[in-house]
Amino acid sequence: MAPKAMSDIKFFNVTFPAPFVAHVEINRPQKLNAFYEPMWLELKTIFEKLSPDPDVRCILISGAGDRAFTAGLDVQEASKSGSPLGTAAPTRDPSRQATSLRRHIFELQDVISAVARCEKPTIALLHGYTFGLGIDLSSACDIRFAESDTKFSVKEVDIGLAADVGTLSRLPKVVGGITSWVKEVTLTARPFTAEEALQNRFVSRVVKGKANLISEGLEYAKFVASKSPVAVQGTKNILDAAWGRTVEDNLNYTAAWNAAMVQSSDVSRAMLSGLQKRTPTFEKL
Amino acid sequence: MAPKAMSDIKFFNVTFPAPFVAHVEINRPQKLNAFYEPMWLELKTIFEKLSPDPDVRCILISGAGDRAFTAGLDVQEASKSGSPLGTAAPTRDPSRQATSLRRHIFELQDVISAVARCEKPTIALLHGYTFGLGIDLSSACDIRFAESDTKFSVKEVDIGLAADVGTLSRLPKVVGGITSWVKEVTLTARPFTAEEALQNRFVSRVVKGKANLISEGLEYAKFVASKSPVAVQGTKNILDAAWGRTVEDNLNYTAAWNAAMVQSSDVSRAMLSGLQKRTPTFEKL
Amino acid sequence: MAPKAMSDIKFFNVTFPAPFVAHVEINRPQKLNAFYEPMWLELKTIFEKLSPDPDVRCILISGAGDRAFTAGLDVQEASKSGSPLGTAAPTRDPSRQATSLRRHIFELQDVISAVARCEKPTIALLHGYTFGLGIDLSSACDIRFAESDTKFSVKEVDIGLAADVGTLSRLPKVVGGITSWVKEVTLTARPFTAEEALQNRFVSRVVKGKANLISEGLEYAKFVASKSPVAVQGTKNILDAAWGRTVEDNLNYTAAWNAAMVQSSDVSRAMLSGLQKRTPTFEKL
Amino acid sequence: MAPKAMSDIKFFNVTFPAPFVAHVEINRPQKLNAFYEPMWLELKTIFEKLSPDPDVRCILISGAGDRAFTAGLDVQEASKSGSPLGTAAPTRDPSRQATSLRRHIFELQDVISAVARCEKPTIALLHGYTFGLGIDLSSACDIRFAESDTKFSVKEVDIGLAADVGTLSRLPKVVGGITSWVKEVTLTARPFTAEEALQNRFVSRVVKGKANLISEGLEYAKFVASKSPVAVQGTKNILDAAWGRTVEDNLNYTAAWNAAMVQSSDVSRAMLSGLQKRTPTFEKL
Amino acid sequence: MAPKAMSDIKFFNVTFPAPFVAHVEINRPQKLNAFYEPMWLELKTIFEKLSPDPDVRCILISGAGDRAFTAGLDVQEASKSGSPLGTAAPTRDPSRQATSLRRHIFELQDVISAVARCEKPTIALLHGYTFGLGIDLSSACDIRFAESDTKFSVKEVDIGLAADVGTLSRLPKVVGGITSWVKEVTLTARPFTAEEALQNRFVSRVVKGKANLISEGLEYAKFVASKSPVAVQGTKNILDAAWGRTVEDNLNYTAAWNAAMVQSSDVSRAMLSGLQKRTPTFEKL
Amino acid sequence: MAPKAMSDIKFFNVTFPAPFVAHVEINRPQKLNAFYEPMWLELKTIFEKLSPDPDVRCILISGAGDRAFTAGLDVQEASKSGSPLGTAAPTRDPSRQATSLRRHIFELQDVISAVARCEKPTIALLHGYTFGLGIDLSSACDIRFAESDTKFSVKEVDIGLAADVGTLSRLPKVVGGITSWVKEVTLTARPFTAEEALQNRFVSRVVKGKANLISEGLEYAKFVASKSPVAVQGTKNILDAAWGRTVEDNLNYTAAWNAAMVQSSDVSRAMLSGLQKRTPTFEKL
């Protein structure tokens, strides 16, 4: 059975380049893949469909065209009157304006969180401009590879904002700590290179050329998809549950989780294949 | 309006080398800028004044002279009888002695916490001996740059102590995790170099020569000061609130924070300036 | 007084190569030091004895022979019927099977936790195959050095399991964060080298040749053992308590801890020795 | 402007008995208002619509008919083959079955959480059979009143389940602690009375007769609706955020929240009305 | 040695009615002991002095006159222009106004937190109007007794505010949970009686007549003061540290605390006195 | 199969008065069932055996004789020289003494925690003197019933100690919050009655006469034992895991737990029995 097709999706190409591998491409290259309101809902829909799909075991994300993964928020759209960041509504009661903005922020956070909650491993393939929302989005992925000329920036400060849809919460998690470097780049929106991203562990690989980036991402995704899905998805779930909690909590949660999961047929299949030096296959999950 | 002048400060030079930039220099070079009782109170006073000052947007910290940022605790002063670590009071009831010591530790922790709580970004410029309290103090700063010949040591074990004014709580936060290296240097007080500090992400830049260090620090501070203070100070606040808490907690806190802050005039000024390729200016905060 | 001898230990060599230094060697080289049921209990017993022993101040762990620190779980033993992961019991009620497995996981977790809870610093000396349980075990140690040809793998996914005896809880703690690299190696069991382990801070030193590894480990252990045991063991305790908790929590805990510990005779001995440029000696702890 | 009408809702009556007050009535009286699959989705939809509606300031929930608030899960429907708790699928791999069940539990939890997340205060008016899901649902409300003959039971144990859609997480929160009484009633599903519910603080009022219950609930709801919505909704939000977190965390969150909300026009309207002994009116929120 | 006298205190009477017992009386009876700006600072000063004073082992708090413990915030003063809640500053940038208000809220929170942090047990004796700040203040005390005619109200909602100086964070802690009753009284500011306060465990005793209230409070304070101060102050510290933390955390903290405190001479004095049926005396703390 | 017999137990009677019900009786009535060193180890052994025993589904705990559940610590034994609280060792280094005491406290905490960790529900039947350790021990049980003349006291303050083997961590959990009453009784060791214990929810039932207490306890235990053990033990586990954690955490943990447990044959047995109005029986667990 093939994965479920995505209809009514306009701003993303969703393809299935290999068995059990999905590829989500942000597709608004004429605007450097910048995001505006209608794109958000689509992104959430896509990940909510891929997450439980038994024909999907690994997901790649990249940007259409050579120039950008995404330039982030489409500032021209955002500054229009009527938009939450727009120039309207100056006379409104600040507490009512705050309530309305809080609802809006929660909606956007929830889109990025849909990526973070996805049951299947997600790999961001970063290239060209990777600004603002590009950092929020890829920080919600499990793994990040970058093309060697990628231009990164935690851009929010440059539009007068603290990054509020996830970067400030997830960046310390994915690079490990509120290091001196994290503060350098978040406090000023200064750009940084792929090399710097690698040294500071934001990405785990740097690849020369976008075509090579996509193909190395695909190879890795196929490797993930060849493993026991019970083991892979459990590993992701437990690692993510560990964040911000104590070791004792985590050990207890792991035991509750694996009490069911160790009963999987994957275990005997994998162990037997290992002893017999064969490649195992696993039931859908 | 110029920032508020600091009177009655003896052990520190507080200057304002650029608009919105303060520079705090530890000034006891004849003793390698080592700390003793009366210096603590001054340090706390300085940061409590700079923190809310609307004319300050970024703060640099360095040591006077070429030999040391600070050699840490002044052991000769500390070993005098009458001092909490001194050789007196051997016959005292251990629980009463413990109560008195706990109060003293809280007082010292509170000085370093005043630096950590500072609303404005703080940049430690490390050089020469940076021992003991120098690690506690700079771990409470946002960003650390080091001169290439800096000699670091988490010195406390060498005076029979677990570091209790902040290093053990903040070092894992600022380098990211209780890594093998963190344990190597904290369990033995073994010295380490600027290069090692960079590799292990304690500092984010190494600069050759103290004069260059100061000037690179100043350039960065001016860059911070040119950005929206609402965005910069919000970024610092949210990042620091994130530590030791879950992603969900952080997203919720961020939404509460930004519900007010997104209403800032900084947002429209910054967005407009971006579209018009002008440099924005921002109201005081 | 010499440290307490270990009787009835079959799968480990426990020796005392220097004053206050213990060396635990996994000793089943014909099976690449792979673990099976009876070895677990011994490992727990050993660390419960060494932990409070006043003649022990630092502990080294390595594997016998040149080929492996440990290849991890002995899959042949584990796949036998009767074993918790074995092929028996397919008709059993899944909830009762889950309860039985959960008890079994807790028992294994408790062995590794006995290493993590050890009051004295522990140094894992990694070499050859360091697979599966080798990562769980060494992640529970304080410090990790690796021989330059060590072959690492978080192997559990390859036997259809999420790693449930500690790696997923402790690896993010010891390398600092759920980085892109952590997910790369845990989601697929892909092997990694000593160099990669160093860059990602899993180990803090890479040493060429097993003999050199052991001797560099021993030198470092002797250095630890020369320091105030009150300071060293307090430093370990406070650092570990810090994980997953906020800075305010940690400062409060540190003050409660040091209220007693600062009263130690080690402080005056260490301070006096420092002023007099002598080597201090310390009472047993 | 009247609140938004609810179309396509079959199992609930949603009415607006007073300005700013909504009343949600579970409407399947012929089955004691027992829940089955299609009702869940409706309940979530209703609360997601009422939550941000500016014409709603307080919400009442009750059951249609005299016999039951709700008898809980419709066991006959749930035991049908095809249902997640049904008798099918005995030969399925336990780990895959577990994954599928976990997704199902999350969906149900999410319905109850939609009630808990509702921005506006919610008041459960309990009467007749209030079993199983009736406890889950009312524990997610802010306030509970009960008719004097209400028959309560945390029924899940009687169908072989630990209560997993919220009771075990929220009951200790709403009665205050895992008291001896909480364990008595949750470990055995033993029934309890309205009087016992009052003594153990599950409900805060007991009222004789269903008509009186509804009318006392309505009076209270109108009282809530007469207060500043900024203050009321902030109070709910901050109280709920406080659960399971430390006082320091809560004070910090409260300050971030109120930094915006204290700017409300409600404050000056309320203060002025108080001084002038008038009844204030407030803008919609 | 008598406790340190308080000079320059205008709005409070601080007396020492029995050995080791202090009594703080709010003294602005002509305004129902309502609070305004200058009173805050005094309250903080008083508790910072009493907290470490070795001649103080228990502290009583009450209001001068028969009419009120305190009517809460002095709304007339608060509504003056220039005050943070006043009617000025309507044209100010909302984010800058939010920053200024947040600083102001922190200052007020810190006053109440000074009471909560006090090392010695504190007993609030409540009578007459106990509104708004009266709830904040007494929730920060350890024990609450009430006169039988006390009129309580969590008044903040009536001035358009969520209670932000501590009630919403501490009330659930001191009554045990976010019960139905807590929400009833905080969401509407509805008044409640001493009897209701007792039933809902906000106070632990109700006493008829203010004179009897004071005298019963004094008897209890003298009883506290007769016990080992090491034991009493440790009990308070450990209980307060327990809130919002897990049992495992608390057991670990308790062990660190008592490692020093069990060495107290109080233990042998108390045990010996117990065996000999004598009244022990204890050293100052 | 009968439950496993307990050999070598001297200070407790362990009997099995009904199928699946165990009864642990503290048996040192000539000393009011006071505890001293050798009793501790036995108590831990007993609960470690009963916890996983499939023939045990509920456990009762009471004291032998009419005079006491337990008078707590045997002070005469504890004050002997050689004992950790004894009068010896005055000249020892306080930090080394603290380390030794901390190890001792952990040992005692671990005994009480063995009761708290027990997989099966535990019911404390309290009567006569229930002092000190009697509170620690019964706070670690799930349910508490008391005879009407029980004399309670959190006695530790009277021997100069903060209660450190669990009362201060667990009492707020089991009565719900750090209420005014909790502080009243813990800060002074003042005695309290069964009636007061009921009103403050420390016990959930008061029964006249010890024989009636035992028989009512036994009836309740048999009721527990008649229910699905998968459901009962899951309920206990999830409720206990909830303490000190957020609702979101708990919901996630519950879903992981029940993913396996809902697959139990108990569910279909219980549902079918319910529909057919029969009494179900369940497999051992």
- Residue B86: predicted pLDDT: 65
DSSP-assigned letters across all residues of chain A: -PPPP--S--SEEEEEEETTEEEEEE--GGGTT-B-HHHHHHHHHHHHHHTT-TT-SEEEEEESSSSEEE--B-HHHHTSTTSTTSS--TTS-HHHHHHHHHHHHHHHHHHHHHHHH-SS-EEEEE-BEEETHHHHHHHTSSEEEEETT-EEE-GGGGGT---TTTHHHHHHHHHTS--HHHHHHHHH---EEHHHHHHTTS-SEEESSHHHHHHHHHHHHHHHHTS-HHHHHHHHHHHHHHTTS-HHHHHHHHHHHHHHHTT-HHHHHHHHHHHHT--------
* Average pLDDT estimate for F149-160: 96
D–F interface: beta-carbon pairs under 8 A: 178
Residue of D nearest to C96 (CA): D94
Instruction: Report the alpha-carbon distance of residue D246 to residue E245 in Å, rounded.
Output: 7
What share of chain A has pLDDT > 70, as a percent? Answer: 95
What share of chain F has pLDDT > 70, as a percent? Answer: 95
**Minimal Cβ distance to E94: which of A94, A246, A248:** A94
Residue B195 has pLDDT above 60, yes or no: yes
Residue of B nearest to A157 (CA): B231
**Which DSSP symbol is given to D2?**
P
Residue E87 has pLDDT above 60, yes or no: no
Instruction: Report the alpha-carbon distance of residue A280 to residue A273 in Å, rounded.
Output: 6
Residue C89 has pLDDT above 60, yes or no: no
Residue A220 has pLDDT above 90, yes or no: yes
Q: Are strands A143-147 and A122-126 parallel, antiparallel or unpaired?
A: parallel
Token representation of residue F278? 């029969």
- Residue C85: predicted pLDDT: 73
**Which DSSP symbol is given to F227?**
S
Which strand ranges, in their side-by-side order, compose the sheet holding D122-126?
A: D12-18, D21-26, D58-63, D122-126, D143-147, D205-207
- Residue C1: predicted pLDDT: 46
Report which residue type is found at D67: R
Mean pLDDT for chain D? Answer: 93
Chains in contact with E, where contact means 3 or more Cβ–Cβ distances below 8 Å, are A, B, C, D, F
**Where residue F1 falls among pLDDT bands split at 50, 70, 90?**
very low
**Minimal Cβ distance to F260: which of C98, C283, C284:** C98
The secondary structure of chain B, three-state, reads CCCCCCCCCCCEEEEEEECCEEEEEECCHHHCCCECHHHHHHHHHHHHHHCCCCCCCEEEEEECCCCEEECCECHHHHCCCCCCCCCCCCCCCHHHHHHHHHHHHHHHHHHHHHHHHCCCCEEEEECEEEECHHHHHHHCCCEEEEECCCEEECHHHHHCCCCCCCHHHHHHHHHCCCCHHHHHHHHHCCCEEHHHHHHCCCCCEEECCHHHHHHHHHHHHHHHHCCCHHHHHHHHHHHHHHCCCCHHHHHHHHHHHHHHHCCCHHHHHHHHHHHHCCCCCCCCC
Token representation of residue F106? 């952990």
pTM of the model: 0.95
- Residue F8: predicted pLDDT: 86
Mark yes or no for CB contact B263/E96 under 8 Å: no
* Average pLDDT estimate for E16-24: 97
Q: Which of residues 209-248 of F touch C (CB under 8 A)?
A: 230, 233
Chain Cα centroid distance, residue B112? 7
Q: Which of residues 61-100 of C touch A (CB under 8 A)?
A: 75-76, 78-79, 84-85, 87, 94, 97-99
Residue C87 has pLDDT above 70, yes or no: no
Taken in order of first residue, the domains within chain F and their CATH numbers are 12-226 (3.90.226.10), 229-276 (no CATH)
Instruction: Report the alpha-carbon distance of residue E126 to residue E216 in Å, rounded.
Output: 12
Question: In A, which residues are within 8 Å of F260 by CB distance?
Answer: 259-260, 263
ipTM for the predicted complex: 0.94
Tens digits of per-residue pLDDT, F197-253? Answer: 999 999 999 999 999 999 999 999 999 999 999 999 999 999 999 888 999 999 999
Residue A1 has pLDDT above 50, yes or no: no
Tens digits of per-residue pLDDT, A113-165? Answer: 999 999 999 999 999 999 999 999 999 999 999 999 999 999 999 999 998 89
Tens digits of per-residue pLDDT, B136-148? Answer: 999 999 999 999 9
Mark yes or no for CB contact E93/B264 under 8 Å: yes
What's the length of chain B? 285
- Residue B80: predicted pLDDT: 81
Residue B262 has pLDDT above 80, yes or no: yes
Mean pLDDT for chain B? Answer: 93
Alpha-carbon radius of gyration of chain F: 20
Tens digits of per-residue pLDDT, E228-270? Answer: 999 999 999 999 998 889 999 999 999 999 999 999 989 889 9
- Residue D1: predicted pLDDT: 46
Tens digits of per-residue pLDDT, E118-141? Answer: 999 999 999 999 999 999 999 999
Lowest-confidence pick of D20-29, D183-192, D225-234, F271-280: F271-280
Higher pLDDT, C76 or D43: D43
Mark yes or no for CB contact F275/D76 under 8 Å: yes
Q: How far is B138 from chain C (nearest CA, A)?
A: 15
**Where residue B75 falls among pLDDT bands split at 50, 70, 90?**
confident
Residue E2 has pLDDT above 50, yes or no: yes
- Residue A72: predicted pLDDT: 95
- Residue F2: predicted pLDDT: 59
Higher pLDDT, F93 or E141: E141
Mark yes or no for CB contact A263/D94 under 8 Å: yes
Q: Are B235 and A131 in contact (CB under 8 A)?
A: no
Question: In D, which residues are within 8 Å of A98 by CB distance?
Answer: 260-261
Phi/psi-derived region of residue A8, left when phi > 0, alpha when psi is between -120 and 50, beta in every other case: left
Tens digits of per-residue pLDDT, E24-82? Answer: 999 999 999 999 988 999 999 999 999 999 999 999 999 999 999 999 999 888 888 67
